[in-house]
Amino acid sequence: MWIRVSCPGVVKFFGEHAVVYGYHAIAVAIDSRVEIYARPLDSEEIVVNSESLGVNVKFRSVDSVDWNVVWSRKLMYIFKAIELAMNYVNSRKGIEIHVKSDLPVSAGLGTSAAVSVATISAYLSCHNYDLNLNEVSKLGYRTELEVQGTASRMDTTVTTYGGAILIKEDSWRRIEIPEIPVIIGYVERKYSTKDMVLKVKKLRDNYPEIIEHVFRSIDAIVLKALECMRNDNSECIIHLMNMNQKLLEVLGICSEDMSQLLDTLRKLGVGCKVTGAGGNGCFIIYTSNVEIEKRVVEFLKEKNIKIIRTRTSNLGLQIEKFLK
Ligand code: MEV
């Protein structure tokens, strides 16, 4: 028996980085998803295959995993998720996993959270353990925490439950907003989430009184954005996205090239900002004007920048069992 598990990518509309220090953020699931196909094995073997990452890795059991290989193949979220799921149910039963994703990996779209939550759900589900969304989301968070050292619950919560959420530390709530069209641009990323979170931490350690003010301003933007998103006030959303972007630049997570690109896009009348940890990777563009949207897409195509046109989505974790 095979199962298919899928989780949505996550766009951070407002508040990334500040959320790590206990301030509010708004993140939204998108209708582009990560898929995992899994089947239980009779042995203790762990087999992981990903066409998009070009890898096929097999270990005799979780105790013989070579973590250097796992890190070098960018499979640490999957293996850490399997290990945590196994410990959670106190089992060593094996699993075969195939990962499929059209989303750029480690680029700011919450793919590490989606992969972590999907892997944990796949393990529990294909070995017939009960699936409690709250527990799955928590284990997904622990996976990110163990791999990255620091993380908020934002991405793992959104990818588990879908929709838009307002989050602050351990508490979050779903917010009802109209569906929003989003253009995602992607520039090759040079740094990991861990690098960028660490960079902001160092800045905060060096200039605590200044950086706390920046976080507080981001927090104020998030709370105002909540009102604007609920009322579908696109002019206000655009303003606030652009303000949030400038504060992310103050936090030093945006390369010179990325800042210039976003400055140019902003002149077309859109809201645009980095989404996620930064250090290049993905940025989001929002406009409710179809003509402007066309101009933006043409501009990005001319610049040879990869784009994903997507929408916000209410669909979270999905599991389907089937025979293959
Ligand atoms: C990463 O998608 C967003 C950050 O705020 C880190 C986190 O919340 O875990 C940079």
Mutate to test the pocket of ligand 1, among 197, 214, 253, 273 (most ligand atoms within 8 A of CB): 197
Q: What are phi and psi of 319, to 5 degrees?
A: -130, 140
Atom of ligand 1 nearest to the CA of 155: 2
Number of domains in the chain: 2
| Ligand 1 pocket by Cβ (under 6 Å) | 12, 16-17, 19-20, 110, 151-152, 154-155, 193, 197, 276-277
The residue written with tokens 């979050």 in the block is: 172
Same domain, 116 and 211: no
As a whole number of angstroms, the distance between CA 123 and CA 129 comes to: 9
Same domain, 226 and 169: no
Q: If DSSP codes are grouped into helix, strand and coil, which group holds residue 58?
A: strand
Q: What's the token pair of residue 80?
A: 């850490």
Q: If DSSP codes are grouped into helix, strand and coil, which group holds residue 316?
A: coil
Is residue 130 annotated as part of the catalytic site, yes or no?
no
Same domain, 307 and 318: no
Same domain, 44 and 139: yes
Same domain, 203 and 123: no
DSSP state of 37: E
Instruction: State in Å: Cα 126 to ligand 1 middle.
Output: 30
Same domain, 218 and 299: yes
Atom of ligand 1 nearest to the CA of 275: 2
pLDDT attached to residue 94: 97
The β-bridge partners of 55 are 50
Same domain, 98 and 210: no
Alpha-carbon torsion, ordered 215, 221, 227, 230, to 10 deg: -90
- Angle at CA of residue 111, ends 180 and 65, nearest 5°: 170
Q: What are phi and psi of 312, to 5 degrees?
A: -70, 155
Closest CA to 251 of 287, 204, 205: 204
- Angle at CA of residue 269, ends 266 and 275, nearest 5°: 45
Q: What's the token pair of residue 240?
A: 């606030």
The residue written with tokens 């960079």 in the block is: 199
Same domain, 156 and 66: yes
Same domain, 262 and 152: no
Chain-centre distance for alpha carbon 29: 9
Same domain, 105 and 220: no
Instruction: State in Å: Cα 21 to ligand 1 middle.
Output: 10
pLDDT attached to residue 323: 62
pLDDT attached to residue 7: 97
**Which residue CA neighbors atom 3 of ligand 1 most closely?**
276
Q: Left, alpha or beta for 9 (phi > 0: left; psi -120 to 50: alpha)?
A: beta
Q: What's the token pair of residue 3?
A: 């199962």
- Which of 155, 219, 257, 263 is an active site residue? 155
pLDDT attached to residue 321: 82
- Maximum pairwise Cα distance, the chain: 59
pLDDT attached to residue 269: 96
For 43, the domain range is 2-175+314-322
The β-bridge partners of 59 are 46
Same domain, 11 and 128: yes
Same domain, 261 and 162: no
pLDDT attached to residue 324: 59
The enclosing domain of 97 has a CATH number of 3.30.230.10
Radius of gyration of the chain (CA): 19
Q: Please tell me the pTM assigned to this model.
A: 0.92
The enclosing domain of 283 has a CATH number of 3.30.70.890
The β-bridge partners of 56 are 49
In order along its 324 residues, the chain shows pLDDT tens digits of 899 999 999 999 999 999 999 999 999 999 999 999 999 999 999 999 998 778 999 999 999 999 998 888 889 999 999 999 999 999 999 999 999 987 877 788 999 999 999 999 999 999 999 889 999 999 999 999 999 888 889 999 999 999 999 999 989 999 999 888 999 999 988 888 889 999 999 999 999 999 999 999 999 999 999 999 999 999 999 999 999 999 999 999 999 999 999 999 999 999 999 999 999 999 999 999 999 999 999 999 999 999 999 999 999 999 998 765
pLDDT attached to residue 105: 78
Packed helices 290-302 and 256-266: angle between N→C axes, nearest 10 degrees: 150
Mutate to test the pocket of ligand 1, among 155, 167, 198 (most ligand atoms within 8 A of CB): 155
Q: What's the token pair of residue 249?
A: 């630049």
As a whole number of angstroms, the distance between CA 304 and CA 93 comes to: 46
DSSP state of 104: P
